[in-house]
Chains A and B, each alone.
Chain A
Amino acid sequence: MAKILIIEDVVDSANLAKKILAKNEHTALVAANGEEALQIASGEQLDLVLLELGLPDVDGQTLLGVLRRQYDMEDIPIIVCTAWPEDTALKMAEAYGFSGYISKPYTVNKLLSVVDQYLK
């Protein structure tokens, strides 16, 4: 179905998201940090990105800007995963051009419904 990049430094969270997406016939690639994400983005045609804001080497907000401007991903849905309060998440989304966000912790159904929404 879709090729989805999960940018998430917490291994258990990344593996869980990968498993959920794979069960729904998506191909899920995982990057644990910004550097790995950029390596994957430079070599793969992605349909959607799930991006954790708190990464160990670069802020998710900064990474999003780099992906959009330097990796030709202006039209790819980039969904931010964040534990920020909703009003802050909305401010970030508006300022940085996230396609959408999903609040952590999220359920299986929530993850899948957000992914489906942005793949349409």
Chain B
Amino acid sequence: MTLILKPASDYNAEQLTDIYNQTRVDYMTPMPMNIARLKEYVYLYQISLDVSLVALYQGQPVGLGMLALRPGRSWITRLGLVAVQRGLGVGKSLMRGLLASSDALGIRMNMLEVIKGNQPAHNLFIKLGFQEQRELLILRRAPAEVETPTAKIHWMERGEILFHLGQRKIVPAWTNQTESLGRAKGISGFKIYTEDDGQGWFVFQRTLFNISRIMFGTQYGDKHELMRQMLLHLHTQYPKQDTYTENIPAEDPHLSAFHQLGYFEAFRRVEMHRHPDVSNFT
């Protein structure tokens, strides 16, 4: 099978969106995008279309892979193949092309996530030198009434929000890194103080219909109770909004509070790194 790999920048937004959506038909979790969503995705996550690739077979697009770049690391995302071309080596060719671009730029660390259960993709990434790091949960919550919170909150300005995001000790997934949140619209956050001197901070994105991108830190006090109070404040403030938040580590000690407030796991991803490097970034 003779494949040609072309830079994604050779295509306009409409063409790229169409190619992307073709690769998501019949996928485990389809996640199609319109042009606006794809453009936002490229911007938020700092995807370089010059080094992202479209795979062509007999002149027709059959696959797509995107490469995002930040200092010292790159992220492979939205790897997808047209359904009839799966299992024929297109994915491997795309991955090799993306990794070659990353290597040529001198980037030592590559990150990606694969949906848990997508064994063919998982096997491919292992063969290419990726190693499992952790599992990440995608949580959803339908709107529902909650009890009144008892803790006090203080809303933060943008500078303070970015400060707290930058202080996180555990490296977040790419979508949740400070650079991503810094580029997102509708970001708000508050600090919380409980009656037993617990302290924490909470950041989220609010759009017309959704709450998303929940980030948090608990500094002093019981983690479960702090998280519970933060979520109570969020859902008291915005009782009618659907909530969707991605890539919370499956081992996060705050998850019990999420479950108590009606969050459930929609699916999970396995985060994988290649040539992991201990870079001090968040």
Please list the residues of chain A having a beta carbon within 8 angstroms of any beta carbon in chain B.
9-10, 33, 53-59, 61-62, 65-66, 69, 83-84, 88, 91-92, 95-97
Q: A83 contacts B209, CB within 8 Å?
A: no
B contacts with A: majority SS: loop
Please list the residues of chain B having a beta carbon within 8 angstroms of any beta carbon in chain A.
21, 24-34, 36-37, 140-143, 209-210, 240, 242, 244, 262, 264, 266-267
In the complex with contacts A65-B142, A66-B209, A97-B142, A59-B30 CB distance below 8 A: no
Kindly list chain B residues whose C-beta atoms are within 8 Å of the C-beta of A91: 264
Kindly list chain B residues whose C-beta atoms are within 8 Å of the C-beta of A95: 140-142, 262, 264
Number of A-B contacts (CB under 8 A): 57
The docked-state distance in angstroms from the alpha carbon of A9 to that of B282 is 36
28 example contacts (A-B, Cβ-Cβ < 8 A) are as follows A54-B31, A55-B32, A56-B21, A56-B37, A57-B36, A57-B37, A59-B210, A59-B242, A59-B244, A61-B140, A61-B242, A61-B244, A65-B143, A65-B209, A66-B209, A69-B240, A83-B26, A83-B27, A83-B28, A83-B29, A84-B29, A84-B267, A88-B267, A91-B264, A95-B140, A95-B142, A95-B262, A96-B142
| CB proximity of B119 to chain A, nearest CB, Å | 14
In the complex with contacts A57-B37, A58-B209, A83-B142 CB distance below 8 A: no
Kindly list chain A residues whose C-beta atoms are within 8 Å of the C-beta of B28: 83
Q: A83 contacts B242, CB within 8 Å?
A: no
6 tightest Cβ-Cβ pairs between the two chains A and B = A54-B30, A56-B34, A56-B32, A62-B242, A95-B142, A96-B142
Q: B21 contacts A62, CB within 8 Å?
A: no
The docked-state distance in angstroms from the alpha carbon of A84 to that of B30 is 10
Q: B33 contacts A88, CB within 8 Å?
A: no
Kindly list chain A residues whose C-beta atoms are within 8 Å of the C-beta of B209: 58, 62, 65-66
The docked-state distance in angstroms from the alpha carbon of A65 to that of B143 is 8
What 11 new A-B contacts, CB under 8 Å, besides A55-B32, A57-B37? A56-B32, A56-B33, A61-B242, A61-B244, A62-B209, A65-B240, A83-B27, A83-B30, A88-B266, A95-B140, A95-B141
A contacts with B: majority SS: loop
Kindly list chain B residues whose C-beta atoms are within 8 Å of the C-beta of A92: 140, 266
Q: B32 contacts A9, CB within 8 Å?
A: yes
In the complex with contacts A10-B25, A96-B142, A62-B210 CB distance below 8 A: yes
| CB proximity of B250 to chain A, nearest CB, Å | 16
Kindly list chain B residues whose C-beta atoms are within 8 Å of the C-beta of A57: 34, 36-37
- Nearest A residue to B25 by beta-carbon distance? A10
Kindly list chain B residues whose C-beta atoms are within 8 Å of the C-beta of A61: 140, 142, 242, 244
The docked-state distance in angstroms from the alpha carbon of A65 to that of B208 is 13
Kindly list chain A residues whose C-beta atoms are within 8 Å of the C-beta of B34: 33, 56-57
Kindly list chain B residues whose C-beta atoms are within 8 Å of the C-beta of A83: 26-30
| CB proximity of B89 to chain A, nearest CB, Å | 25
The docked-state distance in angstroms from the alpha carbon of A62 to that of B32 is 15
The docked-state distance in angstroms from the alpha carbon of A26 to that of B183 is 47
| CB proximity of B138 to chain A, nearest CB, Å | 11
Kindly list chain A residues whose C-beta atoms are within 8 Å of the C-beta of B210: 59, 62
- Nearest A residue to B31 by beta-carbon distance? A54
| CB proximity of B120 to chain A, nearest CB, Å | 16
| CB proximity of A73 to chain B, nearest CB, Å | 15
The docked-state distance in angstroms from the alpha carbon of A97 to that of B262 is 14
- Counting chain B CB atoms within 10 Å of each CB, the highest count among A33, A53, A62, A96 belongs to A62
The docked-state distance in angstroms from the alpha carbon of A89 to that of B260 is 20
Q: A65 contacts B242, CB within 8 Å?
A: yes
Partner pick for B32 among A54, A66, A69, A84, CB 8 A cutoff: A54
